[in-house]
Chain A
Amino acid sequence: MGGFTEVNLAEFLGILPEILVLLWATLLLALDLFLPGGIPRRSMSLLSAGGLLIVALVTVLMRPAEPQVILGGMVRNDLFLTVFRLIFLLAAALTCLVSVDFRPLRAGSEYYVLVMFAAVAMSLMVGADNILMLYLATESASFTLYLLAGVQRGDRLSAEAGLKYFVFGAVTSTTMLFGLSLFFGLSGGQLSYKAIASALSQPELRLPFTLAALLVLVGFAFKTSAVPFQFWAPDVYQGAPSPVAGFISTASKAAGFGILLRFFFNAMPPGVSEASLSWVWLMQPIAILTMTVGSLLAVVQSNVKRMLAYSSVAQAGYVFVGVTAMALGALNRAEALAAVIFYLATYMLTNIVAFAVLGVVEQRVGGSDFQHFNGLARRAPYLALGMAASMLSLLGAPPMVGFAAKVIIFREAIGVDLVPLVAIGIVNVLISVAYYLNVVRAMYVERAETESPLFVPSTLGSVVMIVAVGLVVLTFASEPFWGLALEAARAFLRS
């Protein structure tokens, strides 16, 4: 019989960061409604970003020393969640800042409120310790993202992107839900990950559990844009407002990996039963396909936004290399997980900058094809520098932090004898030289028809420059961040 436990209100302190963001978001929404004329858009963006950054500080200060399951078994609050919270809060803050001068977004303050809601929902996704919470949080995050993708009013492409994202998202999440219902039935009417894990050992249930795991994996694959559920990404990124595309490709993807790791390692831990093999064996093929399909399709794109979409598919493939190493190797599991976390965090910074610059080019030059980047180095030198830093980091070229992240992931994979997988990964990195450097070449070698300087909004310009410098600095000062990732990984495994 499921224990009927009263929720202790003090336990809500464990999700204080989420509560603070929600309070701030609703307060801003209400102020915008009641102040005459509303909150000016520029202040709205700064207020949202500022609030998110302050909450990030609170998150660091309130990090739990020991993993604890709170609120009636709904949320597991540990250092792993803390690190993901930081990724989401930072991603949301950066998205708010770079959206300030994105003119097509005349939607007003609701846009920023939805970004904050999305960050909260993503944190709850990663915190979920129970299949009901998993589904609710995933759907909350998805809904806000569908709306954000379609928010560019009067723009056909944006509404189309929203609808496409919505249809694919609804179908895959419903498939996931059906899988979850099977988990509920097979584990004797239990919702928590731990209870599912203890029901796994019955050998007669191996097949049903495999089926359920595959159905659930569909939902995770959509969130992480893993092959064969990557096809929505280019269309949605192209149609969505650029800052939103940056947010979806980073924060939402990180959240997808967060729930994948949490669910599979807690509910179906590898090595405990035969049923776990269903997903463990799939990680390597998914990693290979996702990397390869992503890079091959990125090469043939003529539009930078679509190229970045396929590139983000390929990047998810590299993360799956780390997940494979984690699933197959028992000894260095903590290091492999830390590598995954580190990769996701650096990729978030890098890709948001790329989409921010893309947004400026889209608006001021008039398109997002490679030719629109021609001569950008002369027209907006700092912006071009930021974009070049981002491209090199995505490629994994030293001295950018993307290099360190890729080296660590591949090192951990080699540590568990996944040499062929790493070889395929390196081939894909070599392929990706073509499309990442193509952007750099357009900016620095090609000439534009006009040399007139491009107007770069000051907020966006400074954000791009700060993050670009950070991408280099992080390489040399990665020690504390790597230490934090490792600590988070250990907390994750201590369950």
Chain B
Amino acid sequence: MDATSFVTFLSAALFVIGALGVLLRRSALLIFMSVELMLNAANLAFVTFAHRWGQLDGQVTVFFIMTIAAAEVAVGLALIVTIFRTKRSTSVDELAQLRG
């Protein structure tokens, strides 16, 4: 096994742990952190492959993904704070008004 495969597996494992977090946690904040972990797993894969193939494109891509992650946090936290103002809870199970 070479370093590329090792880190690719690592990133797949991180991605799966993040996905598990999304499925298992009930707090919007923690779901959100798990999404950040998944994003980071994708970043790790991009950097590894960029190193593996000697292409800088992968690194540039990661730079853009980081920007997106920052914007995502701003939008997501704004939405969470808006909800929390009226509900005093960050649990997704309380988002149950929309059922029919």
Question: In the complex, is A directly touching B at CB under 8 Å?
Answer: yes
In the assembled complex, the Cα of A163 lies from the Cα of B35 at a distance in Å of 14
Q: Residue B56 at the A interface, CB < 8 A?
A: yes
A132–B61 contact, CB under 8 A? yes
How many angstroms from the CA of A185 to the CA of B4 in the assembled complex? Answer: 10
Is A182 in the interface zone, CB < 8 Å from B? yes
A157 within 8 A of B: yes
Q: Which residues of B contact A185 (CB under 8 A)?
A: 8, 45, 48-49, 52-53
Q: Chain B's interface: helix, strand, loop or mixed, by majority?
A: helix
- Whole-angstrom distance between the Cβ of B47 and the nearest chain A Cβ: 9
Closest-CB distance, B57 to chain A (whole angstroms)? 5
Mask, A153-184, CB within 8 Å of B = 1, is: 00011011111101100110011011011101
User: Cβ of A239 < 8 Å from any Cβ of B?
Assistant: yes
The proximity string for B residues 74-100 relative to A, scoring 1 for CB distances below 8 Å and 0 otherwise, is 011001101100110000100101111
Instruction: Assess A189 versus B49: contact at CB under 8 Å? Given A2-B55, A136-B64, A161-B98.
Output: yes
Is A247 in contact with chain B by the CB < 8 A criterion? Answer: no
Closest chain-A Cβ to B91's Cβ sits at a distance in Å of 12
Q: Are A306 and B79 in contact (CB under 8 A)?
A: no
Contact of A1 among B15, B18, B54 (CB under 8 A): B54
Please judge, given known A-B contacts A175-B38, A189-B53, A238-B100, whether A170 and B72 are in contact too, CB under 8 Å: yes
| Stretch among A50-58, A139-147, A252-260 lining the B interface | A139-147
* Known contacts A2-B56, A146-B75, A185-B45; A163/B39 CB under 8 A: no
| Cβ contact within 8 Å between B54 and A302 | no
Shortest B66–chain A CB gap in Å is: 12
CA distance A150 to B86 in the complex (A): 14
A156 touches B45 (CB 8 A): no
- Cα of A190 to Cα of B57 in the assembled complex, Å: 8
Contact A189 B54 (CB under 8 A): yes
The answer for the CA separation of A14 and B35 in the assembled complex, in Å, is 35
In whole Å, how far is A130's beta carbon from the nearest beta carbon of chain B? 9
CB-defined A-B contacts under 8 Å, sample of 8: A1-B55, A135-B68, A160-B97, A166-B79, A167-B28, A178-B38, A178-B45, A184-B50
Given contacts A175-B38, A189-B53, 7 further A-B contacts (CB under 8 A): A1-B55, A157-B98, A160-B83, A163-B95, A178-B42, A191-B61, A235-B98
